[in-house]
Structure 1
Amino acid sequence: MIKTNTFSVVNFLILLIIVFGGSFVFIGCGGNDQPFFETIDDQTLAIDARRTVEIHIRDSNKKDMHTVSASSANNRIATVVVNDRSIDPISIADFTIEGVAEGQTFITVSATDDSGENNATFDQEFMVTVVEPEIIVSTASPLKESTLDGSEVSLSVIGLTFDRNIQSSDVIISGIEGVYSYPTRISDTEANVVLNLDSCHGISTDSFLNLTVSPGAFEEDYNGPSFTAELFVLSDLDLREDYYYDHIVGPWLWMIAPGGSIDLDNLSVASRGAITENQIAQNGVSEGEHFNALKWTKGDLLPTTVCGIFLCSSDNVINVVREIGLTNSFQLTQYSAYALLNIVSPRDQKNVLLGVGSDDSIKVWLNGAVIYSNNVRRRTTGIQNCFHVDLNAGNNLLLIKVCNQGSGGNDDWGMFFKVYLETRDYTISLPR
C-alpha cells in the first residue's frame, strides 16, 4: 500500500494559491478593470437608412466579459439597437442606428465590465445628424456626343456611404441608346461613373441622359427611393444622311480554316502551329501568301441580304470566298473566315467608333490586340455592335474572324464592318 501525506498536499495547494494569487481559483473571471473603446465619430445619416457601427472594447484583462448598451436622447430623430449585448473576450460589438426624421440627437454607448461585484462602466456620447439624403451629380466638362464614350460623371452623396463593391446594376443609365456605366467607389461619400457607348446610332438632336442610383449602391440598409438625375448631352456631330448605313466593301484579304469556335485558334490548328491568328494580327500577310493549300486572296464583301417569309439574313462571306476560289462549296458550317486590311489614318485619332455585324460569332484585332469579341449565334443584315478604338497615324492593321456555326437551321455566313468617320479622315488599303 502506498501512503499519501495529506498535510503535505494541502500545504502544496496553499502554496500555489499564495504564489499565483486568486487567478488560479477565478480563471476567466478577471478583476474589475475599466473597459475602453475608441472615439466614435459623429454621424450624418439619411432618413430611412440603418447604419451599423462596430466598436472594439479594450480591457487590461482580456478574459473579461462586457455588456454593451446604447440609447438615443431622441428616438423621434434616430433610434439605436445593440446587435449583441453580451460579447465574448474578443471584445468586438456592433450597434445599428436608424434615421427617423430630420434633426440632431445624441447617442450614448456604454460598455460594462461584468467580471466582479463593482462593475466598471465606460460611456461615450456622439452626435447623430439625420438628413434628407441627396446625391450631387457633376461632370468636369459638358457632355457631348463626340466624346460621350469614356466621359466621367462624379457622384457625391449626403447621408449615406457608397458600397465598397458598387456594381453597374446599382447605377442605371437610360435615355440614349447604347450607353452604360462602370461605377467606382472613391471614398465613403464619393463615386466615379465612367460612361461607355455601345451604340451604332448617334443622337439626331440634343438629348438628356438619365442616371439612376439605386438603394443597392450604399453600405447602409436604405429603404428610401432611388436617386435620379438628368445630364444634358450636346449633339455635335454633323453627319451626312448615309453615315450610319454604309459599310466597308473592301478589298479585303481572305482566308478560311475549319473550325467554328471563336476562342480556338483555327489557323494554328489547321497549320499545326506554323501560322497563328496572333501572327497574322500583328504582322499581316501579303496577297498570294500560302496557308496550307490555299492562298490569301483579295475580294470585296458585298452588302447582300436574302429575305424569306419571316426573316432576312446575309450570306456575303460564303459568297466572297466562293467567288475568289477559296472553296467550291455553297455552304460551309463549323468554319472560320479571316478578313484582313489596313485602316490608314492621316493623323492620330482617339475614340473612333467602329461597327460590326456577324453571322455567327466574331472577333476583331487592331494592330495586334483583340479589341472586340462576341461569341454569339445569330443572323445579320448589317451593323449590330459598336465599340471605340484609337487609330495611329498611318497604317492600322485590322483582322476580323467570323465563324459559321450553323446552328438552329441557320447556315448563313455573313459579316459587316464600318468605320464611323468621314471619308476624308481615313482610307483603306491591303496590308504590306
Structure 2
Amino acid sequence: MKSKFMLLAVCAIGVLLTAQFAAALDKIEGPWYWMITESPAGGGGAAVTDEDGIDEATKGKLTEEDVAEQGITKEILKVKFAENYEWTEGEIAPVGGNNINDMLIKIKLGPGGDVNDHCSYAVINAVSKTTKKGAEARVGSDDSVKVWMNGEEVHKNPVNRGAGDFQDTFEVDIKKGDNVFMVKVCERGGGWSMFAGIDAPLEYNLEFKGLPVEPAGKLATQWAEVKSSY
C-alpha cells in the first residue's frame, strides 16, 4: 500500500511539473506582420482552413505558399489585396479570447467592430543561432488554425472552437539564421484569437530577406508604405 501511495505521489509531481513547463513557454507577441482575408458569409472557420485566402484576395497574384516561404518582401508588399488592405505591423496580447480582433482594431486593419468570417495571417522572422530539428511548438486558436515554417506546412487543425491559451502541440525544424514562421487563423463567429510559441532560443523581428531597411527619408517608396501601430 505504501509503495502504491509513493507511485501516485511521483505521478502527481510529474503531472505538476509538466503543467508548469507548459505554462512557462512564452507566447510570441510580435510585432508580427498581419493580413486578413474575407470568407463566405456564414462559411468561415474550419470550412475554409484549406482555402487559399491570399490567392483569392489578390486575384492569383500571390499565394499563402509564397508568403510562408519568403516572408514579407519588397515585391510582396507591392501586391494589392481586396479592400485595399495592407500588411500591417501589430503586437498581439498573450491572453484573451478575442486578441486578434482587439489587435486589428488597434492597428486599424479590417472593417472594424466584431469581425466574423475572415482569416488572419500573422508572419514573423524567427532568428536562431543554431540548427534544431524537431523543436516543440504550440498554438491555440479560435477558430481553425494552419501553421507554416519556412514554407512547409507543419500543423493544421480545421476546427471551430474557442481559445484562451495553447491547445495544440507539434514540431518544427529550425535552421541557423532566419526562419519564416506564419500562422493562419480562420474565424467563423464570436471570439477570434491566436496564441503561438516555439520552445527554442529564438529572436523575433520583421527583418525578412528581400525587405531592405531604408533610411527614414526613403520611406516614401511603395514597398515601405506599411502601416504601423507605433
TM-score between the two structures when normalised by the length of structure 2: 0.73
Equivalent-residue separation in structure 2 for 1:359 and 1:278 (angstroms)? 22
Residue 289 of structure 1: how far off its partner (Å): 2.1
Map of 1:17-416 to 2, 5 A cutoff?
205=14, 243-244=24-25, 246-259=26-39, 260=44, 261-286=48-73, 289-290=77-78, 291-292=80-81, 293-305=84-96, 314-406=97-189, 411-416=190-195
Amino acid at match of 1:256: I
Q: Percent of pairs identical after alignment?
A: 32
In structure 2, the CA distance between the partners of 1:368 and 1:431, relative to structure 1 (3 Å rule), is farther
Q: Retained in 2: the 8 A contact 1:363–1:374? A: yes
Amino acid at match of 1:415: M
Residue 304 of structure 1: how far off its partner (Å): 3.5
Q: 1:430 aligns with which of 203, 206, 230?
A: 206
Structure 1 unpaired stretches of 5+: 1-202, 207-234, 306-313
Q: 2:206 matched to 1:419?
A: no
In structure 2, the CA distance between the partners of 1:348 and 1:340, relative to structure 1 (3 Å rule), is same
Higher relative strand content: 1
Q: Retained in 1: the 8 A contact 2:34–2:123? A: yes
SS at match of 1:295: coil
- Cα displacement string for residues 168-197 of structure 1 (whole angstroms, at most 9, x for unaligned residues): xxxxxxxxxxxxxxxxxxxxxxxxxxxxxx
- Cα displacement string for residues 375-419 of structure 1 (whole angstroms, at most 9, x for unaligned residues): 00000000000111211001110111100012xxxx110000011
In structure 2, the CA distance between the partners of 1:240 and 1:362, relative to structure 1 (3 Å rule), is closer
The structure with the larger Rg is 1
SS at match of 1:289: helix
**Match in the other structure for 1:75:** none
Residue 328 of structure 1: how far off its partner (Å): 4.1
Structure 2 unpaired stretches of 5+: 1-11, 209-230
SS at match of 1:362: strand
* Structure with greater contact order relative to length (CA < 8 Å, sep ≥ 6): 2
In structure 2, the CA distance between the partners of 1:241 and 1:318, relative to structure 1 (3 Å rule), is closer
Amino acid at match of 2:88: T
Higher relative helix content: 2
Amino acid at match of 2:24: Y
User: How many aligned positions are there?
Assistant: 184
**Match in the other structure for 1:27:** none
Residue 270 of structure 1: how far off its partner (Å): 1.4
SS at match of 1:342: strand
TM-score between the two structures when normalised by the length of structure 1: 0.40
SS at match of 1:285: coil
**Root-mean-square deviation (CA), in Å?**
2.4
Q: Retained in 2: the 8 A contact 1:286–1:431? A: no
- Cα displacement string for residues 307-358 of structure 1 (whole angstroms, at most 9, x for unaligned residues): xxxxxxx100011112111124211211000000011111111221000000
SS at match of 1:268: helix
Equivalent-residue separation in structure 1 for 2:37 and 2:132 (angstroms)? 34
Equivalent-residue separation in structure 1 for 2:14 and 2:109 (angstroms)? 46
